[in-house]
């Protein structure tokens, strides 16, 4: 989760920020400059909010200390009175921004998001991303994504089947890839099959292979299970699979051996199954559209990826990542653009964000992506 270190003697300020910024941001409190410095070291906050009036240290001296560290987080100065000379000095020392108290959500939120966007770009340039490299493609610092990464680290090494649930475009395939990369099977293949895209008449031969003559034009060929041997088979949109194929699938998972369509030979397979769905499978079971026994087999552990609109903290990180990945590192999102991105409901989730950022990068004729370049599908 994104942590904000608030260094401010004003106790009420701490209470009000805890309330208005929860649950997306975690407030780490320090009431003096000295405790602020200590918290800096042990908490590694992503953003610092620093009061201009501290009881023990001159705020500008503290600012100097914080901004002189290598991966210094952005520091936002806050004060009740607008002392222009102090503000200018703090900006010269390296303060990221200045905000006048009282801190109102309309001004604070975009400022924090912009600071996060800036901080994520520093981390990317310095390659100081935390966590194992296998998770580095799975971008997100929100509390929810951090939790998902922790669960992936915990469950990836075992062989248990994992069901990944979440709306379309939330990153289920990225999660499945990370599970494979962090498992003991990572030297083996990762085979992904979209069950929703294959007609019911072909799904069996696709999964289990076929022998010559099994049906018109059939050739002898291995299916996904054999291809994924000693690796991971990712069955996307498992909720779309027809009931007959579900029976086959369950039998193969239980016996760990397949018989190709039209064949008689039993072929042993050693495959870890990861599935994904954007449907509520429990509802599908209740409606008899999905087999109860298969559901319990694949659902030993469920990882639910929340929609993007419920984790807007990830937007600055993701947006920066997508800009960098299309080679437009010099492009920068303006505050207005970022704000527009975080106000939208993202029905297509991260996939839609990626497309929106790519479009915006093409629309700008200088290096600034502004709100007018952000065009939504709806
Ligand atoms: N956390 C993330 N970090 C980086 N890229 C992401 C993340 N989540 C999603 N993406 C990107 O968004 C796009 C959609 O992700 P993905 O294919 O994993 O979604 P999905 O949940 O499997 O979607 P669907 O239900 O439509 O199959 C991909 O281009 C992926 O790289
Ligand atoms: Mg998918």
Indicate if ligand 1 lies below 6 Å from the C-beta of 138.
Answer: yes
- Model pTM score: 0.76
Best residue among 347, 350, 353, 356 to mutate for probing ligand 1's pocket (most ligand atoms within 8 Å of CB) is: 350
Of 36-40, 71-75, 363-367, which has the strongest mean pLDDT? 36-40
Classify residue 54 by burial, with Cβ atoms within 10 Å: 0-12, 13-18, 19+: buried
pLDDT of residue 70: 63
Residue nearest to atom 16 of ligand 1 (CA): 171
Residues paired with 26 in a beta bridge: 3
Determine the 3-state secondary structure of 263 from DSSP.
coil
| Contact predicate 235/180, CB 8 Å | no
Cβ of 348 below 6 Å from ligand 1 = no
The minimum-distance atom of ligand 1 relative to the CA of 174 is 18
Q: How far is the CA of 256 from the centre of ligand 1 (A)?
A: 30
Q: Is residue 172 scored above 60 in pLDDT?
A: yes
**How far, in Å, CA of 197 to CA of 142, rounded?**
32
Proximal ligand: closest to the CA of 177:
1
pLDDT tier at 288 (50, 70, 90 boundaries)? very high
Q: How large is the average pLDDT for residues 230-242?
A: 95
pLDDT (mean) for 53-63 = 94
> Cβ distance 136 to 180 under 8 Å?
no
Q: Does the beta carbon of 171 lie inside 6 Å of ligand 1?
A: yes
Cβ neighbours for 96, distance < 8 A, ≥ 6 positions apart = 74, 75, 76, 115, 118
Rounded distance from Cα 278 to ligand 1 centre (Å):
12
CA of 169 to the centre of ligand 2 (A): 7
Q: Which residue has the higher pLDDT, 267 or 69?
A: 267
pLDDT, average across residues 20-49 = 91
Residue identified by tokens 């009881």 is: 55
Dmax of the chain from CA atoms?
A: 85
Residue with CA nearest ligand 1 atom 29: 351
CA distance 144 to 315: 13
Question: Nearest bound ligand to CA 171?
Answer: 1
Over residues 73-130, the pLDDT tens digits come to 899 999 998 888 888 888 878 888 899 999 988 889 888 988 888 777 666 544 444 5
Task: For residue range 175-233, list pLDDT tens digits in order.
Answer: 999 999 999 899 999 999 999 899 888 898 899 998 887 666 767 899 999 999 999 99
Please tell me the distance between residue 138's alpha carbon and the centre of ligand 1 in angstroms.
Answer: 9
**Six-digit token string for 6:** 């608030």
Please tell me the chain's helix, strand, coil percentages from 3-state DSSP, rounded to the nearest 5: 45, 15, 35
């Amino acid at each position: 989760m994104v942590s904000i270190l608030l260094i401010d003697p004003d106790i009420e300020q701490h209470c009000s920020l805890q309330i208005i910024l929860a649950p997306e941001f975690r407030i780490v409190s320090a009431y003096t400059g000295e405790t602020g410095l200590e918290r800096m070291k042990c908490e590694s906050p992503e953003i610092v909010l620093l009061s201009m009036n501290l009881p023990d240290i001159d705020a500008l001296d503290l600012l100097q200390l914080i901004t002189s560290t290598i991966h210094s987080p952005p520091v936002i100065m806050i004060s009740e009175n607008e002392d222009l000379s102090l503000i200018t000095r703090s900006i010269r020392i390296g303060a990221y921004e200045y905000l006048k108290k009282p801190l109102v959500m309309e001004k604070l939120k975009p400022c924090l998001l912009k600071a996060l966007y800036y901080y994520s770009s520093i981390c990317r340039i310095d390659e100081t991303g935390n966590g194992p490299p296998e998770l580095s493609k799975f971008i997100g610092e929100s509390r929810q994504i951090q939790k998902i990464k922790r669960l992936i680290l915990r469950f990836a090494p075992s062989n248990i089947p994992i069901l990944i649930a979440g709306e379309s475009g939330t990153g289920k395939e990225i999660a499945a890839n990370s599970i494979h990369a962090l498992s003991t099977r990572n030297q083996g293949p990762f085979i992904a099959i979209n069950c929703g895209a294959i007609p019911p008449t072909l799904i069996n031969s696709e999964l289990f292979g076929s022998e010559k003559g099994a049906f018109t034009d059939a050739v002898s060929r291995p299916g996904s299970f054999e291809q994924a041997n000693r690796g991971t088979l990712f069955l996307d949109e498992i909720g779309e699979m027809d009931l007959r194929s579900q029976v086959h699938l369950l039998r193969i998972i239980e016996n760990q051996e397949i018989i190709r369509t039209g064949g008689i030979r039993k072929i042993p397979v050693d495959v870890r199954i990861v599935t994904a769905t954007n449907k509520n499978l429990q509802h599908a079971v209740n409606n008899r559209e999905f087999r109860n026994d298969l559901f319990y087999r694949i659902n030993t552990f469920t990882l639910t990826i929340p929609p993007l609109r419920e984790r807007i903290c990830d937007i600055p990180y993701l947006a920066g990542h997508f800009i960098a990945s299309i080679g437009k590192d010099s492009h920068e999102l303006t505050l207005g653009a970022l704000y527009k991105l975080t106000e939208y409901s993202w029905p297509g989730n991260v996939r839609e964000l990626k497309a929106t950022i790519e479009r915006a990068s093409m629309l700008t004729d200088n290096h600034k992506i502004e709100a007018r370049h952000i065009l939504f599908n709806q």
